[in-house]
Amino acid sequence: MTDQRSDDMLLADTVSDPEAFGEFFDRHYDDILRFFAARVRSPESAADLCAETLAAALQGARGFDPARGGARQWLFGIARHKLSHYWRELRVSREARDRLGITDIPVDDETVRAMARVEIQADRTRVVEALDGLPRDQAQAVRLRVVEELDYAVIAESLCCNEGAARVKVHRGLRRLELVLGSADTHG
């Protein structure tokens, strides 16, 4: 069942209703991803920028003021800011490499594929270990949503709860994973 609240209402309700942001996220994820995909070369960078934008929107939802513009306009403002920051960092990095005389080393396709396989396996191992550390219901909710790509209604039925509770379990599980995997990145 589709939530009938406006985007502005969803953001306002996010403070007291975690599933409100889930609906806002679902409505705008594809558009934000397309926005970045059309502007950066790397699909991975587009996905990262999309995730950063939506995370910033979640963090800033409390400060959203509909008197200053609609929620979609606000969200795309965050996206433009993230894109501007991305281009600035890329330029600074390129200038630093040029000053130091560092050139890109050409790598053949087989080397790239081998490196990707190693990285994917290492990431998969880290994620599985992190998932195993979650409370059982959160781990199951995350697996059903992220791995099996099931709708919240199906997840709720599987977990014997309502859709709102399923959304909360997925959200909390993903937040814990983000904390665990993020701290592993900074300490590993």
pLDDT of the chain, 188 residues: tens digit per residue: 567 888 889 888 888 887 888 888 889 999 999 999 999 888 888 999 999 999 999 888 888 888 888 899 999 999 999 999 999 888 888 788 778 877 766 656 776 666 667 676 766 777 788 888 889 999 899 888 887 888 889 999 999 999 888 888 888 888 888 887 776 554 44
Same-domain check for residues 164 and 181: yes
Q: What is the pLDDT of residue 115?
A: 66
CA–CA gap between residue 184 and residue 173 (Å, rounded): 16
| DSSP notation for the chain | ----S-HHHHHHHTTT-HHHHHHHHHHHHHHHHHHHHTT-S-HHHHHHHHHHHHHHHHHHGGG--GGG--HHHHHHHHHHHHHHHHHHHHHHHHHHHHHHT--PPP--HHHHHHHHHHHHHHHHHHHHHHHHTS-HHHHHHHIIIIIS---HHHHHHHHTS-HHHHHHHHHHHHHHHHHHHHHHHHH-
Give the end of a domain, one of 70, 89, 104: 104
| DSSP notation for 17-39 | -HHHHHHHHHHHHHHHHHHHHTT
Same-domain check for residues 49 and 64: yes
Domain extent for 152:
106-188
Give the end of a domain, one of 79, 104, 129: 104
The single-letter code of the amino acid at 133 is: G
Give residue for tokens 């000053």.
99
Question: Using only C-alpha atoms, what is the Rg of the chain?
Answer: 19
Same-domain check for residues 94 and 4: yes
Same-domain check for residues 96 and 177: no
Same-domain check for residues 98 and 140: no
Give the end of a domain, one of 104, 121, 151: 104
Q: Domain of 146: which CATH number?
A: 1.10.10.10
Same-domain check for residues 121 and 54: no
Distance of CA 70 to the CA centre of its chain: 22
How many structural domains does the chain have? 2
- Report whether 170 contacts 145 (CB < 8 A): yes
CA–CA gap between residue 145 and residue 131 (Å, rounded): 13
